[in-house]
C-alpha cells in the first residue's frame, strides 16, 4: 500500500502546512489543512477485486479511513494525490481492468487534514529547521527517553509533545536525558518534555519485557538501555547449562536474570548502585529464578578480588574432590560498564598469588580460565582507524600482556558521532590470573 514517503514530506501535498515551520510551542489548530484528493466510486460487489488492484494507491494516513460508503450500492475509495492527478496516471493494464469493473474516471473532492492525520516524522520535519532531525529515542515502559542535542533545545517542548501525542496511550511521559552520563551509578539528570494528566500516578517506575523476561525498576535511578537487547542475546548464546556467570556490573539484571532463568546456570550478579541492587532482587522474584542466582552490592573490584575469587576456589576444590573432570563448567565474566570496565581488569592480575593450589594432571588449568566479556568505548580520530586494534590494546595495556585467545571483538553500538561501544571476549591468560613463581601444585586451600 502507498504509505506517505516522509523523506519527501516538503514536496508532498500531504505534509503539514508550511506556516508551522519554526513553531516551538505546540498549537494543534495550526495543522489544519485543506487538500484536494482523487477518489473512485466502486460498486460494492467489485470491492475485493478493486482493492487488490488499487491498494498501492490508497491514501493511508493515521486515523484516516480512505474507504467509505457512497450509498447503499457503492463505496468511495480516496487515493493518494501524490500518486494520481488523472485517470491516465494508471497504467494501461490498470485502466483496462478498472473499466471492466465500471470505473472509467477519477473524481476529486476537498478534505481537511488535522494534526492527528500526520505521521510523527512529517510533523517533526514540518516544525524543525531544515537540516535538523531527531534520530534517537528509547521506549522504556511508559516512558519515551529522548536523546537531544544543542540544535534541538529551542524545540524540545514541541518535540516532546509531538512524540507523546503520536504514541500509544500507554506512553505517559517523554523525557530528555543529559547528553553525558557521568554519575557514579550511571543514572542521569532528566527533564520532562511532555506528559499526560495521569503520568504522576506512575512516576518513573517502569515495567518492561525483554524476550519473555520481565523487569521492573525506577528509570530515574538506574541505567537501562533497550538498544543493548540484541547484544544481550548474542552474549546469551555463548552460555549453556553448567556454565557459571559472574556479572560484575549487573545493573537491574538484564543479562544475569535471563541466564539464570533460561540457562539454569549458576549466576553471581553484582552492582554497586543500591537502587540496582534493590531492583535486581525484585526482578529475581518476578522471574522466579532465585535458586540459580546470588546477588551482591559491592564495588566491582572488591567483587572480583573477593567474591569471584573465593567462588572459583570453592568450585575448583569441588571439581578436584569429586574428580568431575568430564563435566568442567565454563566460567564467564561479564563487565558491561564501557566507560571504565577495562580499568577493572587489573583486579585479575595475580589474583591467586598467595593461594596454594594443586591441580591434578587430569584437570588442565587452561580449561578453568575465565572467559572475559568486557565492554569499552572507543573513539575514532581519523578515517581508516582500526578500532578493534585500539580496544584490544587498551585491554592488553591494563593486563600488561598479549592476549593469546581472543574469541571475539564486536562493535555493539554507535553511541555518538565517532564514538563506539565494543565488546571484547577473551580467555584470561594463565600468567595474569596466577602470579609468576606461585606454586600451583600444592594443596588447594
309 burial (CB, 10 Å; 0-12 / 13-18 / 19+) is middle
The SS3 assignment for 430 reads helix
Half-sphere exposure of residue 258, counting CA atoms within 13 Å on the CB side?
A: 19
The reply, when asked if residue 437 is annotated as ligand binding, is: no
- The alpha carbon dihedral of 286, 298, 300, 333 has a sign of negative
The reply, when asked if residue 315 is annotated as ligand binding, is: no
CA distance 22 to 20: 6
Place of cell 494525490: 81
The reply, when asked if residue 386 is annotated as ligand binding, is: no
Where does 295-346 have alpha helices with state H?
Answer: 300-302, 309-322
C-alpha cell at 184: 557514579
Backbone angles phi, psi at 257, to 5 degrees: -70, -45
**Using an 8 Å Cβ cutoff, are 216 and 286 in contact?**
yes
The reply, when asked if residue 271 is annotated as ligand binding, is: yes
The reply, when asked if residue 218 is annotated as ligand binding, is: no
H/E segment holding residue 126: helix 120-127
The reply, when asked if residue 102 is annotated as ligand binding, is: no
**Using an 8 Å Cβ cutoff, are 352 and 309 in contact?**
yes
Known binding residues for S-adenosyl-L-methionine are: 232, 271-272, 299-300, 336
Known binding residues are: 232, 271-272, 299-300, 336
Amino acid at each position: 500500500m502507498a504509505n506517505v514517503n516522509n523523506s519527501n514530506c516538503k514536496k508532498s501535498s500531504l505534509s503539514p502546512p508550511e506556516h508551522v515551520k519554526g513553531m516551538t510551542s505546540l498549537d494543534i489548530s495550526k495543522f489544519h489543512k485543506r487538500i484536494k484528493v482523487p477518489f473512485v466510486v466502486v460498486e460494492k460487489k467489485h470491492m475485493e477485486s478493486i482493492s487488490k488492484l488499487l491498494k498501492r494507491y490508497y491514501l493511508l494516513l493515521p486515523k484516516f479511513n480512505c474507504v467509505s460508503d457512497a450509498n447503499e450500492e457503492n463505496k468511495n475509495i480516496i487515493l493518494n494525490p501524490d500518486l494520481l492527478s488523472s485517470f491516465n496516471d494508471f497504467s494501461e493494464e490498470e485502466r483496462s481492468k478498472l473499466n471492466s469493473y465500471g470505473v472509467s474516471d477519477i473524481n476529486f473532492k476537498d478534505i481537511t487534514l488535522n494534526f492527528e492525520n500526520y505521521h510523527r516524522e512529517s510533523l517533526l520535519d514540518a516544525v524543525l529547521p531544515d537540516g535538523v532531525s531527531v534520530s534517537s529515542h528509547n521506549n522504556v515502559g511508559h516512558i519515551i527517553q529522548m536523546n537531544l542535542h544543542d540544535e534541538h533545545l529551542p524545540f524540545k517542548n514541541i518535540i516532546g509533545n509531538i512524540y507523546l501525542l503520536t504514541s500509544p496511550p500507554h506512553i505517559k511521559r517523554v523525557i530528555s536525558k543529559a547528553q553525558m552520563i557521568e554519575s557514579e551509578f550511571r543514572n542521569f539528570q532528566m527533564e520532562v518534555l511532555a506528559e499526560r494528566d495521569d503520568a504522576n500516578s506512575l512516576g518513573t517506575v517502569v515495567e518492561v519485557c525483554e524476550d519473555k523476561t520481565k523487569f521492573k525498576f525506577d528509570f530515574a535511578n538506574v541505567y537501562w538501555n533497550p538498544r543493548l537487547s540484541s547484544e544481550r542475546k548474542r552474549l546469551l548464546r555463548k552460555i549453556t547449562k553448567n556454565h557459571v556467570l559472574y556479572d560484575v556490573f549487573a545493573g537491574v539484571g538484564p543479562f544475569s536474570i535471563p541466564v539464570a532463568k533460561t540457562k539454569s546456570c549458576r549466576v553471581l550478579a553484582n552492582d554497586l548502585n543500591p537502587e540496582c541492587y534493590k531492583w535486581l532482587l525484585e526482578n529475581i522474584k518476578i522471574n522466579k529464578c532465585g535458586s540459580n542466582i546470588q546477588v551482591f552490592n559491592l564495588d566491582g573490584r572488591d567483587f572480583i578480588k573477593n567474591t569471584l575469587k573465593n567462588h572459583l576456589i570453592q568450585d575448583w576444590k569441588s571439581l578436584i574432590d569429586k574428580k568431575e573432570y568430564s563435566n568442567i563448567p565454563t566460567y564467564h565474566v561479564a563487565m558491561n560498564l564501557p566507560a571504565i570496565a577495562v580499568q577493572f581488569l587489573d583486579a585479575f592480575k595475580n589474583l591467586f598469588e598467595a593461594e596454594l593450589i594443586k591441580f591434578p594432571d587430569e584437570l588442565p588449568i587452561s580449561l578453568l580460565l575465565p572467559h572475559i566479556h568486557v565492554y569499552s568505548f572507543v573513539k575514532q580520530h581519523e578515517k581508516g582507524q582500526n578500532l578493534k586494534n585500539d580496544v584490544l590494546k587498551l585491554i592488553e595495556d591494563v593486563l600488561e600482556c598479549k592476549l593469546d585467545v581472543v574469541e571475539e571483538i564486536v562493535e555493539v553500538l554507535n553511541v555518538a558521532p565517532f564514538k563506539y561501544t565494543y565488546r571484547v571476549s577473551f580467555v584470561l591468560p594463565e600468567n595474569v590470573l596466577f602470579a609468576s613463581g606461585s606454586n600451583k601444585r600444592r594443596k588447594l586451600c
